Structure 1
């Protein structure tokens, strides 16, 4: 009897175990979704959120299942962070899945981006055990990847605007020479001793020299006559007016004698309170602060004079040391120094740079668009003026534009060793971004305040950090490849198209970005024409386009295939 019961029971157990084994078998990809649906590189990472489901009556009550995301490509793979789930009868701290109802779960992981991931697939791999027994669950493909458009930043940085070490060249420099004719108290006559003083002799000689010089031109001569602020207003007004008239008469006579044709502009100030305040503030006179306080408290000239005279302890010093200096006519020769012409500077830069000063030599680089000639000029500047950072910085700019990041960095660091200038730091930030060193770039940008290109470079940093909206705002209206890249990544396609159309010197990546725009906006003709132009400028982009998931829906399109063949 027992034997008869044993056999059916054994068969039932085998069937039951077999049933359980099947329920832990293959899972359909329908049970999984990913965000994003097609993986995308962001800030050097490939983030993904996986929403999965174990169906009803699938998860064995005694099972433990480890689920691992694995991104695979030809010749390599990388595993993400696994998650562990357990059946209802397993004692543990992992998420429990009901056998009867099944269960949903969410996994988040991120992979470090490498270019080979452009053509890859995301799988979930399962390690399932019931007790000590391993259950085979086949891997499930859950997504394709990776859209790597953000990684184009490394290519678009080549067209970024660098910070130049600008020259301070001025073709016309305004200069002036001054002299004073002093008067005795309450007098307006010009004394012989004053007219024969070294100051006036020197002034007259300066007028003659400037008038005779080929590279100088007199603008005008100003006469400003003053009376000191002691005495009545009517008296001082008459004195100042007479001092102006007498000085003007004298100056016109001297100009006529020297045969100098110059405009004379004359004026007088009855009481020179401004001059008084300046002299007092620079002096060590007793009660100086009290006097200055009186000047700030009272605006009426007579009130000021009364209050200052009331400070009896100091008024004698004012009368002896300050007031006499205000009884004067000030002569000012205003003139222009006219520098070398563009033709002279360009010629000397090429033939005899030693005849140019630093500002002229740096300015010479702006007179040519030939980078080879610019490089020659900056090299001469580093030899003639080795203690100025600007030529080294500008040599770094030329190397950067030529794609030689290592050489550019060397020049920038040499410039920085001379002066830690904002524009040098901004350029070093661009170098750091080109090398993928975002933290270093951010540090350099912290010392680049005041450079006009700072916002644009910050935009590049934000793209590298995956902050696309912030990057768009930082770029503003800049017409560069990087600005357009930020706009594409932020899905502002109209603005991106306008930006690309405005790039001053479009290159292969300008066209490649326009092709991406065509793909994203379903404009096949824009895609093919732009991609054709890009490949003509850089043939390596044909291979890139063939695996770029931006163009996935065109992979079987005849026009697309004819362009990348």
Structure 2
């Protein structure tokens, strides 16, 4: 009896198992009735990720009431398979908490997923792998291709073409110099004393003028003679004295200059004569520096009264102070002041560049920094700036510019070392921070670059352009377009293309000042998007003619996907 019951039980179990297996196989057999809609139809990379949305529509009387289905979108690449997160669905009689699909009416299941982009994904296809189960029985469906991938146009970003900024020189071709000396007079006198003619002050002035006159690159422009009278005494007398002192001083110094053979000394306009009848400003300055008794009281009088006569009267009332003023201050105000104006004329551009290229150590700091700007040869500039760092090792501008040109040459290791040195010499300088950001861009450190560019705000339009590159990388195309403004750069056109501003992109590419093969390649992408086949082929041919390596890029670029079977395209990228 027991054996009979056991046999009946096994038969019943077999029926159930065959029933379950039959139900799953039926679902597998009819899986072609499942309709998949993928958005975007061809997968795209933005902001470093490949996002997708799938709507799966299940037909009526398809989804077994007791089945559980796990669907996994998979990107198949030459390097292997990469899975998106799976989604689990169930029939209406399954007691679980998954998305339910009705057997009788069918239904739609929506799915979204994301994967970090890798370069292998450029040549990939999206398939769905499905596994259905009922209790312990499992059946794997045939994988179904539902999309191609991946359009990766943002990777055309020229991240090693960030815009560096030069720390400018302060070179002046003509450097003005002034040589100054005073001569003093006795009270109420205007004649130049012999002792004053031979004073140390005058002798030093004459020596400087003599030296300048003997140098071919020095131009003695003229002499200002400012004569003064002390503020004591009558105004009319002081005015007369000051004017006479300017005359006697200029005659004395003109004679001295003629003796030194200063050619312009005989010209009337060479001397500019000025006189001050009462030198209250000089008086105030000398009193302020002095240690005379009642100094503060005297200064208070000057601040309280503007009228010269009232000032003189009130100061004389301070009897002790006035005596000290008469002895110590007033004699210094009875004077004429010579100011010789001289222009020191620097080396010509030709001479500067020649010396900088052969013996830069012979130049001063501003000369060598300026000389580097006189050539467009970046390698030559780099050598000059390197020499500047050796002679002027504490100049942050020399290190910045040395690193800047190294970056322009593609030597980002040297560039980083040099610009980091500049940052230690002048921490957080906006220009230096921008250039460190450019290096971070080139190294693929976009978050670091973004922080540096934000800290470099205000250093120039280059910072905005560099932020545009960061925003392309992050997928913020509208903001990137704003960052680039009207700049005629490939990266600016790329931002406009990704933002679907095709007319602007073409206009930008037309105005690029130094077009590269990538300029034509980007044109081809824009024309392909617009369906302008003739212009697309023309631009792509120009790009490949200039750089044959672009054949391989174009061959697998899904921007040209609809041309992959076109005989002309096949021949072009062969």
Q: Establish whether TM, by shorter chain, passes 0.5.
A: yes
For 1:143 and 1:552, the matched residues in 2 are separated by 12
Which of the numbers 331, 338, 343 marks the counterpart of 1:331?
Answer: 338
Change (3 A) 1:400 1:238: same
Judge conservation of contact 1:298–1:304 (CA < 8 Å) in 2.
Answer: no
1:32 paired to 2:34 = no
Q: CA deviation at 1:544?
A: 0.8
For 2:251 and 2:393, the matched residues in 1 are separated by 52
Partner of 2:8: none
Which of the numbers 433, 438, 452 marks the counterpart of 1:430?
Answer: 438
How many pairs align? 553
Judge conservation of contact 2:159–2:444 (CA < 8 Å) in 1.
Answer: no
Change (3 A) 1:19 1:284: farther
Partner of 2:212: 210
What is the DSSP-based 3-state SS (H/G/I as helix, E as strand, rest coil) of the residue aligned with 1:367?
Answer: coil
What is the DSSP-based 3-state SS (H/G/I as helix, E as strand, rest coil) of the residue aligned with 1:441?
Answer: helix
How do residues 473-512 of structure 1 correspond to structure 2 at under 5 angstroms? 473-512=482-521
For 1:113 and 1:494, the matched residues in 2 are separated by 29
For 1:400 and 1:471, the matched residues in 2 are separated by 23
Partner of 1:115: 119
Judge conservation of contact 2:379–2:409 (CA < 8 Å) in 1.
Answer: no
Of 251-260 and 510-519, deviating more is 251-260
For 1:138 and 1:304, the matched residues in 2 are separated by 112
Q: Deviations over 1:330-364 (max 9, x none)?
A: 32222111122233333333444443333333433
Which of the numbers 446, 470, 477 marks the counterpart of 1:461?
Answer: 470
For 2:285 and 2:405, the matched residues in 1 are separated by 50
Can you give the 5+ residue segments of structure 2 that lack an aligned partner in the other structure? 1-10
Can you give the 5+ residue segments of structure 1 that lack an aligned partner in the other structure? 1-6
What is the DSSP-based 3-state SS (H/G/I as helix, E as strand, rest coil) of the residue aligned with 1:69?
Answer: strand
Of 144-153 and 185-194, deviating more is 185-194
Q: CA deviation at 1:16?
A: 9.8
Partner of 2:149: 145
Partner of 2:53: 49
Change (3 A) 1:114 1:241: same
What is the DSSP-based 3-state SS (H/G/I as helix, E as strand, rest coil) of the residue aligned with 1:346?
Answer: helix
Computing the radius of gyration from Cα coordinates, the structure with the larger value is: 2
Change (3 A) 1:289 1:226: same
Of 102-111 and 473-482, deviating more is 102-111
With normalisation by structure 1, the TM-score equals 0.82
Which of the numbers 70, 78, 85 marks the counterpart of 1:81?
Answer: 85
Aligned-pair Cα RMSD in Å: 4.2
For 2:496 and 2:317, the matched residues in 1 are separated by 72
For 1:134 and 1:518, the matched residues in 2 are separated by 49
What is the DSSP-based 3-state SS (H/G/I as helix, E as strand, rest coil) of the residue aligned with 1:143?
Answer: strand
Which of the numbers 363, 381, 388 marks the counterpart of 2:370?
Answer: 363
For 1:314 and 1:447, the matched residues in 2 are separated by 62
Partner of 1:3: none
What is the DSSP-based 3-state SS (H/G/I as helix, E as strand, rest coil) of the residue aligned with 1:511?
Answer: helix
For 1:293 and 1:497, the matched residues in 2 are separated by 74
For 2:317 and 2:564, the matched residues in 1 are separated by 96
Change (3 A) 1:243 1:507: same
Q: CA deviation at 1:551?
A: 1.2
Change (3 A) 1:456 1:544: same
Q: CA deviation at 1:542?
A: 0.2
Q: CA deviation at 1:546?
A: 0.8
With normalisation by structure 2, the TM-score equals 0.81
Q: CA deviation at 1:548?
A: 0.5
For 1:526 and 1:285, the matched residues in 2 are separated by 90
For 1:291 and 1:18, the matched residues in 2 are separated by 117
For 1:192 and 1:47, the matched residues in 2 are separated by 95
Of 423-432 and 313-322, deviating more is 313-322
Q: Deviations over 1:366-424 (max 9, x none)?
A: 33333444444344444444444555544444443343434443444455455545444
What is the DSSP-based 3-state SS (H/G/I as helix, E as strand, rest coil) of the residue aligned with 2:170?
Answer: coil
1:563 paired to 2:572 = yes
Of 411-420 and 526-535, deviating more is 411-420
For 1:281 and 1:141, the matched residues in 2 are separated by 93
1:514 paired to 2:523 = yes
1:177 paired to 2:179 = yes
Partner of 1:224: 226
Judge conservation of contact 1:294–1:304 (CA < 8 Å) in 2.
Answer: no
For 1:290 and 1:40, the matched residues in 2 are separated by 84
Partner of 1:342: 349
Judge conservation of contact 1:70–1:124 (CA < 8 Å) in 2.
Answer: yes
1:439 paired to 2:447 = yes
Partner of 2:254: 252
Which of the numbers 547, 551, 565 marks the counterpart of 2:556?
Answer: 547
Judge conservation of contact 1:23–1:57 (CA < 8 Å) in 2.
Answer: no
For 1:320 and 1:94, the matched residues in 2 are separated by 107
For 2:94 and 2:161, the matched residues in 1 are separated by 60
Judge conservation of contact 2:35–2:58 (CA < 8 Å) in 1.
Answer: no
What is the DSSP-based 3-state SS (H/G/I as helix, E as strand, rest coil) of the residue aligned with 1:207?
Answer: helix
Change (3 A) 1:526 1:433: same
Q: CA deviation at 1:32?
A: 2.4
What is the DSSP-based 3-state SS (H/G/I as helix, E as strand, rest coil) of the residue aligned with 1:499?
Answer: helix
1:201 paired to 2:210 = no
What is the DSSP-based 3-state SS (H/G/I as helix, E as strand, rest coil) of the residue aligned with 1:179?
Answer: strand
Change (3 A) 1:238 1:78: farther
Change (3 A) 1:71 1:200: same
